[in-house]
Structure 1
Amino acid sequence: MLTPHLETPRVRFSPIAPENVTKLYDLLTELGLESLPSRDAFSESYHSVAKRFVDIFEIQLRRTGEVLGFGSIREHDPAGHVKLGIFMRTNRLPVGVGAESMMLLVNHAFANWDYLRKVYVLTTDASLGQFGSALLSTPREASLPRHVYFQGRLWDLHFYSVSRSAWTANGAPILDRIARGPRSRAAAGGSRPE
């Protein structure tokens, strides 16, 4: 059984505050990862539809409460799949915070919906580099050449996936250790130098 973590020592997930829906819109527009309606239509659709079909979290820096970005779980498929989204300005993040956020999001999906077999993350070459090492061991299932129009050009769209069995065996134990936080060497079985 997976532990439904919503925080690590550095990052916390909270439901998106209604006043931050426009901040999410601005970030999505800046990143260019989604085709969006007008700001008003986006806000209206969030308030009337999103809460039933999409889980959206604010990703906060625990130390300060600063909103670093947003995470989403959407498009629940009867075949046991969902799409995950992490939307952050990676150039402003402390090292590793993006990866911790992605791990929390993957874990949250599997811990809360037993029917899920696989989660998908979609990205283009425009943002692929911002994932750093987070996608190195994640299987790329497909690429759609020249599928997304952004910044005046067409980009390839890449589909990455994580299966429940792979997450349970490999990802969840790592997240459990991260979520417990730093421990003293003595508690970890080591001895302190005298």
Structure 2
Amino acid sequence: MDGLFWKKQAVNSFEILLLIFILPLSFILPDSFAWENGPLESTQVIVLVAAALINFYFFYKRRHNFQLTISGFFLLLTGRELNWGRCFFPLGIGPDGPILVPMNQIPHHAIINIIIGIFIMVVLAGFIFTTPWYKIFSYHLFPVKLLVYSCICTLFSITGDSGHFFGKYKGELLEELGELLLYLLLLHISLYYYIQSSNNN
């Protein structure tokens, strides 16, 4: 139990430190870190793929459909970060990084958009029908700190994306750093619910 406690404390401290340093790092890191296919986006994809695989393993291990839904959710976010495959076919490099082919110029883009839309609807339906709502509200399974941290990261991401407060390039760094920590927090939240569901069986 002591080992588990200290592991939790280490993870919490790591997340708080990242949260504190998001803003300073956005002014320190090179602008190229926020480019498409850059270090931050590549790290985001690694985190998302790992999160999808971890939750799929949880589904395989305990057959909780909720974990399968979460795995699909992380795969959906992975597709978004990869620009639905467009990042693999850059047209060249511009002053703002790789230039990606517009979605409407990809062959069969209409079919691809339909498939993406169906995937989104399936994941949404999965959250509605596989989330253990009764257990969550009965046992008050709300990771408040993680949810608050996630809201702060979302605020960083939205603020950075607007570009109004920090300029275009620093805003992009703030956006990508916020998203990276948000994905780590979402993975932590998924681990929290898996552990709680196992304890309350």
Q: TM-score, normalised by structure 1?
A: 0.27
| Structure with a larger share of its residues in strand | 1
Q: TM-score, normalised by structure 2?
A: 0.26
Q: Which has the higher contact order (CA 8 A, sep 6+)?
A: 2
| Structure with a larger share of its residues in helix | 2
